[in-house]
Structure formats: C-alpha cells, structure tokens
Amino acid sequence: MALSSSSPIRHHASHRTAAAAIAAATLRERHASSLINIPATLSSLLHLHHERKPDDHSVGFPPPAIGRNTPTVSPKEDIFSLFPEIHGHADWSPLLNPLHPWLRREIIKYGEFAQATYDAFDFNPLSEFCGSCLYGRHRLLDKLGLARNGYRVSKYVYAMSHVKLPRWLERSLHADAWSTESNWMGYVAVSDDAESRRIGCRDIVVAWRGTIAPTEWFKDVQGKLEPLGDARADVMVEHGFLGVYTSKSDRTRYNKTSASEQVMEEIERLVSHYRQRGEEVSLTITGHSLGGALALLNAHEAASTIPDLPISVISFGGPRVGNVAFGEKLKEMNVKVLRVVVKQDMVPKVPGILFNEGLKRFEHVTGTLESVYTHVGLELGLDVSSSPYLKHGLDVAGFHKLETYLHLVDGFLSSDKEFRRNARRDVALVNKTSGMLRDELHIPPRWAQAANKGMVRNAYGRWVKPAREPEDIPSPYREEAQL
C-alpha cells in the first residue's frame, strides 16, 4: 500500500476536513456497491485491486469471432509430437509465453475436469445426498458434456477431516443423510484409445474438488505447518490440507480408507495395467482452490511411490501448500507444476500473506527459513482487466471462480498482447455462478440454477423432490473400479 511521505501535521485544517468528507463519501459509495463484507484495506494489502480502464466499445459485443452460431471448442489436433513438453518430463517454459495453442487447449481441458467437481456436486443442505456427486461415475462426464474429451471415470474419491473446516466440507441437514462426515472430493479418469493416440500416451487424470467461498480462507486456513512424513524431516505442509487428504475413520462408510489411500490404490492399479500392455503412461493431477492443494499432496505421494512416472500438476487459484523443502522435494522428483493464477484472486496469496517466498532475497541475513510458505512450479499469470467482457470492479468471489480462470486462459496469448479475439469458449459460462460479465452482454448473473429449485410435480399434482436414479445414489460398494 503506497504511503505519503508528507507529514499530516503540516496540512491545513480545511484540507483535513475536505479529505475527511471525501473519505466518508468514498466509504458510503463502497458500502452501497459492495456485495461482500470485506474491508477495503484488504484489497490494497493483497493487491486485489486493478485500475479501472475506460470501457472499450471498439471491440463490440460480442466480437465477430464469438457469435451465437460459433462452435465453443476448437477442432481436436494430434499433439503427440509435443508429448515430452506437454505430458512428459520436459519443461513447459517454452510453451507459456506466448502460450502455445495446443497447451492452452490442454489447460482448459483439465480445468473443465476440475469444474466438473463443482457442477456435479450436491450443495443442497436439505438433500439427504448433500456432499455427494449428483451422478454415478459412468454418467458423470456425459451428463456434463465432457464425454467429447475422450476420458472415462474409473473411481470416485471421498474425503473427511478431523480438522475443523466449516466451509471446506458440506454437511446435510437431512435426518437420513447418506453420510454425516464424508464428502465426494473428486475422481480418477483415464483416456480412451483415441485420445491416448492423439496426445501420445495413456493419460490418467485425478480431478480434486475445491472451495467456492474465498472469503472463508482467512478463517479456515490456520497456517500451521506440520511434517509430511517424508524421508526428509524438514518437508512440511499446511496441516488442514493434509488433514483432508489423510483423514479416515472406521465409523464412516466412505472413509474407512483416506482420500490418499483411495486415489493411490487406483493410480497404481491403472499404471500397472497399462504398463503391462507396453503403453506410455502419464499422470495429470488437477484442481481448483483447495483442490490445487490436494493435487500437490497427491503428486508428492505418487512420485514417491511410482518410479519414472511422468507427473504433472495443473492447478487453478491454488494456495501455498508447504515450505521451501516441500517445493524442493517436488522438483527433485521431477514433478511438473503449472499454477494458473489470476492477479486479483486472493486465495493464491494464502497462507503466508506476509511470510512467504518473497523473503528468500533476505536469506543472506536470515539464513534458510524452514517454516516459510512458498509456491511451487511455474506460474501462468492472468489479469481480469485483460478481458473486454469482464467488469472492472472489486468482486473477490468472482475473481476466484474457476469459470473466470478458464475464460482468461482461453483469451490469453502472451503477457504483452491483448485478449485473443478468436477465443471460442462460451463467455456466458463466466456468469454461471457469478456476475463478472459486463452488463452490455445481457447475460444474467448466477444463471445456473435448478428449475423450481429441483422440485417437480408428481402424477397427483403435488410438488415433491424427485428421487435419484439408482445409479446416482452413492454407495461404497458401487465405487469399486472396473476397467
């Protein structure tokens, strides 16, 4: 936050009165326009603000390249020639700035896999299935329009936590809840034959669900580092993230084994199966917000367990997870990490708002700081102000939405170029659960909602909550993976 070098004692009283009036008017305006109860100083402290640019009407709404009759996806291209760079052990750096179109489409593909964990999650606290997936795993990608990506889901992953995290895990208020402790936390999927030929390998994907309430991070992230249990005793991670990843209980139906044990069992099974067939296998782990943190923990465990497996992490709006030693260990094990970060999003700034990797430049004075949080891997930096479609106000929740991220990735060319005019992804998706789009687009905010809040009229004319299809009812016995 910029501070004036002049002394307030030297100001004339009238100047103070005028300044006070301006400040009061500004506060009233902020209070009237704000939808989120966050102090204005928080924006400056975390650098969430961005300069309001004059509305550029020369672009047109919508631009010619994004009309109603324009396909929302680009034709698939064979990208196996870039297998080492995109899915193999080689570095992403040469493909990031400018962003290679093939890598852009892969980033969006994995981002949509992460978005599926929100779109298919039952958030309704009045539902007996709150906290579960709305669909059985055989129907998940098809119901969400993602079957075109050429993957099939082989296993669902459930998590619980012994750490008190009130907004990270959802709870049902129904007396006959499917589970009182567990949440559906993601899934494992694997590429089919056609997709495997296109990308150059058999790709195993793990998609982790995150959080949608960024303002809760300041209450829920306690910033306590604890040892990961690595061979290196100095490797430490945030204890809340580790709790979600490793918690289990014999009292539960879905977490007699932890999320860690569930996902690793399936990864090892799939890797063994396809390697026995002589295939090149890769592991790509993705997640948004809390899901990005779980992705890094998952990558560390997979790299420690399965030798010579190409492992990539593509996270969106992920927080810091561990200390310097944790980052060094991931690099030592050749885990590739790409962090997609929106400049205005506050979640990637925690934990460690003040004490983070920025202190590294003082190590010649302080020595190595083992308990300081640090980010891992490469960063693809995005800016809300780069898009002509987005509003230029403060919207902390909107900045963190995954759909905002995917919109900005789709339009990103390079750090010194304007928003891509031939971007294809449907901009209406940005307003699915937010109000980030400019009013000129006439797309209603938060338009994604169930008709009649999910109620239907039965044969007797009564409004009732419909029963789920049998396949969509969660069952610990149905979660057994089948090839």
Residues 110-137: pLDDT tens digits? 999 999 999 999 988 888 898 899 999 9
Sign of CA dihedral 235, 107, 379, 317: negative
Residues 294-339: pLDDT tens digits? 999 999 999 999 989 999 999 999 999 999 999 999 999 999 999 9
Rounded distance, CA 315 to CA 296, Å? 9
Q: Is the pLDDT of residue 186 over 70?
A: yes
Mean pLDDT of 95-124: 96
CA atoms within 13 A on the CB side of 202: 18
Which is more confident, 173 or 378?
378
CA atoms within 13 A on the CB side of 41: 2
Q: Is the pLDDT of residue 59 over 90?
A: no
Task: Kindly list the catalytic residues.
Answer: 289, 345, 400
CB atoms within 10 A of CB 38: 17
pLDDT band with cut points at 50, 70 and 90 for residue 355: low
DSSP 461: S
CATH entry, 92-464, from 3.40.50.1820, 3.40.190.10, 2.40.50.100, 3.30.230.10: 3.40.50.1820
Which tokens is 404 given? 């905002």
Residues 28-56: pLDDT tens digits? 434 443 443 443 444 444 445 454 444 44
Rounded distance, CA 136 to CA 158, Å? 14
Which is more confident, 433 or 181?
433
Residues 14-33: pLDDT tens digits? 344 444 443 444 444 344 43
Rounded distance, CA 211 to CA 170, Å? 10
Sign of CA dihedral 156, 160, 166, 170: positive
φ, ψ (nearest 5 deg) of residue 75: -60, 140
Q: Is the pLDDT of residue 4 over 80?
A: no
Please report, for the chain, the start and end positions of each structural domain, with discontinuous segments joined by +.
92-464
pLDDT band with cut points at 50, 70 and 90 for residue 174: low
Q: Is the pLDDT of residue 369 over 80?
A: no
Mean pLDDT of 162-175: 60
Mean pLDDT of 391-401: 92
pLDDT band with cut points at 50, 70 and 90 for residue 167: low
At 46 the pLDDT is 47
Mean pLDDT of the chain: 82
At 392 the pLDDT is 86
